[in-house]
A and B are shown apart, each in its own frame.
Chain A
Amino acid sequence: MTSFFIVTPSSMSLEREPEPSSPLTAPLTQTEATPLHAPAIVNFVASAEPAAAEGPPSPIRQYLNTCSNGGLADKTFAAVMLVCALSIFAIVLFILSILIARSRLSLSQFGFGFFTRSAWDPVSGDFGALPFIFGTLATSLLALAMAVPLALGVAIFLSELCPARLRAPISFLTELLAAIPSVVYGLWAVFVLVPIMRDQLGPLLVTYLGWTGLFGGYNFGVGLLTASIILAIMILPIISSITRDIMQAIPVSQREAVLALGATRWEMIRTGVLRNARIGIVGAVILGLGRALGETMAVTMVIGNHPDISKSLFSPANTLASVIAGEFSEATSSMYLSALIEIGLALFLVTIVVNAIARALVWAVTRGAPARVH
């Protein structure tokens, strides 16, 4: 950077007519005659640097903002950038409006009762989304119940206990696993998880937990429980990596304060880290919930695709997303299609709300002021 500043002034002074009023260009007019000024410029820039790093509007910037500096090109460029940023709003509004427009048929036919009726009969044109809402909630909540304790353990390990040498590879692995496509997890589940569920895990569950009544019926290997397990595997890396980021955003001084009072490491984690990070951790869990609600391919491949509300975790079921994936291309009547699009609309609205809550909670911890002390 130093060389940048020493080289350019001389060439600039040849090309441009320097303005005497500008504090930056004024010394440059003398660079040819008195080379001793060059180090002075470098010093000036170097001393201005720390000030610039602290807050965005440094004195130089403020001065430059008051100059007229662009005219049409600058305004056009800024406008194009603004339009692109606004297009993100436009995308959301556009998806919403087109989904409402295309599901009008079913909206007017069934009204709100669409979400409370359990009929799903494409032949006679009778549609209700209750079985899919049940399937979605059951799989997502079961997946959360399995994933959250483990994800918390992983996050605590990575953020507080892990030796520095192991931290990078494990974080890398979780990032990688969060990026593996849904269909690949589905492929693995179809050929590895389903046989395990059918032949090993399923009979074990029936023997030891059969009394709960949750494991009745015939075990095909596909069904609610298998879908929940694959969902749990898929949301685990997401929840644990966000939770770890949140824990690392808690200031070290909080930890040191608790340790200085004579706390053990766990007491330090509980009172110094988890209590400060709890809002963000709830946000991370809700973010995982949002992901689980909308997860399509892997669930479609192992859930059994049958609109049933059953007590047994072995029974085939269907979720909001998987019924769309499974039946959309078979939808022949316009009412059938409209009902499926309405399910998509419901999924869209629910995930928007869930994600908005989660983001707000995560932002509260990672972007806000230093964590509050309770």
Chain B
Amino acid sequence: MRPPTNYKSRSMRLNSAWRYGINHLVTGLAILSTALVIVPLVAILVYLIYKGASSLNLDFFTHIPAPVGETGGGMANAMLGSGIVLVLASSMGIPVGIAAGVYLAEYGQGKLLAMAVRFTADVLNGIPSIVMGIAAYSLIVMRQMHFSAFAGGVALAIMMVPTITRTTEEMLMTVPHSIREAALGLGVPKWRTVLSVSLRTASPGIITGCMLAFARVAGETAPLLFTAFGNQFWSFKLNEPIAALPLQIYVYAISPYDEWHRLAWGGALVLILMIMVSVTLVRIYAGRGVLKGAS
């Protein structure tokens, strides 16, 4: 922007110069702050990838941790444990989350109850994950008197529900009413319309939303600290302590051994790659619109 030149008086010219000066100053500050934020954040990302890539190898994916003092070993048991806990969490959290989202989008339009559910879901989304951990501990671990994979799954499932609910609702809202009306007009009952028309049309978006929720809770450590608890060995049983990748990263990061630090960096890279993939997919689907993928 260039200041105009046809001024009537000197004070007006000075005033204008001042205003344009401020304009340039603030523009510069905004660009500077963006640079100040983006550069270190990118540096963190690059550093994590660099450190992680140099510690990943085949052993990392196939071996359990080596005893202290020995080199080698991997995090295979932690990845399997994370997988088991996450499958448990998804099998509880995803159906409930999608169903709640269906209620909000298909049945609750304009209802006060739906507003309240939406609001509660948003608030629940902001509750610290460690509180979920304590709740699952108080409910399951204190009663059973031992840590278990199941308790970890419950804690993560609770965290998945609000995210999935809101994504499902938003994706269903993008499905045009004319498609639903077409189905209803052909005599299809409403429940069938919701399942095979609305949900099916919105499915790419909903699936990626679930993936994002999955990736988010995959990196959660706090809810697993006193539910899944961690385990140095293979474990497959749902009512026993189980290893999990983020837990293992935490334990290894605060340990004094270099070899364990290396494993922690590798684990961090695995987590980040998972998140990168899901965020990218979400952007692709959010960007191109669900309908184009479905028709």
Q: Which residues of A contact B (CB under 8 A)?
A: 1, 4-5, 8, 12, 16, 24, 45, 48-49, 52-53, 56, 58, 60-61, 64, 69-70, 73-74, 76-78, 80-82, 84-89, 91-92, 94-95, 98-99, 101-102, 149-154, 156-158, 160-161, 170, 172-173, 175-177, 179-188, 190-192, 233, 236-237, 240, 264-267, 269, 287, 290-291, 293-297, 301, 321, 324-325, 328-329, 340-341, 344, 347-348, 351-352, 354-356, 358-360, 363
Contact = CB atoms under 8 A, between A and B. Distances in A.
Given A266-B23, A294-B127, A150 B117 contact: no
A4 to B, nearest CB: 7
Contacts of A170: 34, 38
A183 B246 contact: yes
B178 A184 contact: no
Contact of B120 (A88, A94, A102, A190): A88
A182 B34 contact: no
Interface string B126-149: 111111101101110010000000
B23 A265 contact: yes
B30 A328 contact: no
B190 A161 contact: no
Contacts of A341: 134, 138
A264 B124 contact: no
Given A98-B139, A176-B276, A182-B221, A69 B127 contact: no
A87 B190 CA distance: 22
A302 to B, nearest CB: 10
B19 interface: yes
11 contacts: A1-B295, A77-B191, A153-B37, A161-B30, A192-B47, A240-B37, A264-B19, A265-B23, A267-B19, A294-B131, A297-B250
Q: What are the 10 closest A-B residue pairs judged by CB atoms, nearest first? A: A294-B128, A181-B219, A153-B33, A84-B99, A77-B191, A355-B126, A264-B23, A85-B103, A81-B103, A296-B222
Nearest to B130: A296
Contact of A265 (B27, B126, B178): B27
Contact of B253 (A82, A84, A187): A187
B22 interface: yes
Interface in B185-225: 185-187, 189-191, 194, 212, 215-216, 218-222, 225
Contacts of B181: 48, 52, 58, 60-61, 64
Nearest to B40: A233
Nearest to A337: B142
Nearest to A101: B138
Given A161-B31, A264-B23, A45 B249 contact: no
Interface in B1-54: 1, 19-20, 22-23, 26-27, 29-34, 36-38, 40-42, 44-45, 47-48
Contacts of B110: 56
Interface of B: 1, 19-20, 22-23, 26-27, 29-34, 36-38, 40-42, 44-45, 47-48, 95-97, 99-100, 102-104, 106-110, 113-114, 116-117, 119-132, 134-135, 137-139, 142, 158, 161-162, 165, 176-179, 181-182, 184-187, 189-191, 194, 212, 215-216, 218-222, 225-226, 229, 246, 249-250, 253-254, 261, 264-265, 268, 271-272, 275-276, 278-280, 283, 295
Contact of A181 (B31, B121, B271): B271
A170 B39 CA distance: 11
A153 B35 CA distance: 10
Contacts of B268: 183-184, 187
A84 B160 CA distance: 13
A352 B123 contact: yes
B153 to A, nearest CB: 15
B177 A70 contact: no
B191 A92 contact: no
Given A157-B30, A182-B219, 16 more contacts: A53-B176, A84-B100, A88-B117, A88-B121, A99-B135, A172-B279, A173-B38, A176-B45, A181-B220, A293-B128, A296-B130, A329-B229, A344-B131, A347-B131, A355-B122, A356-B119
A297 B124 CA distance: 19
A246 B176 CA distance: 25
Nearest to B110: A56
B120 A89 contact: yes
Contacts of A291: 126
B22 A347 contact: no
A361 to B, nearest CB: 12
Nearest to A70: B189
A344 B134 contact: yes
Given A60-B181, A170-B34, A294-B130, A85 B225 contact: no
Given A98-B138, A172-B283, A183 B249 contact: yes
Given A157-B31, A291-B126, A356-B123, A74 B100 contact: no
Given A12-B186, A92-B120, A52 B48 contact: no
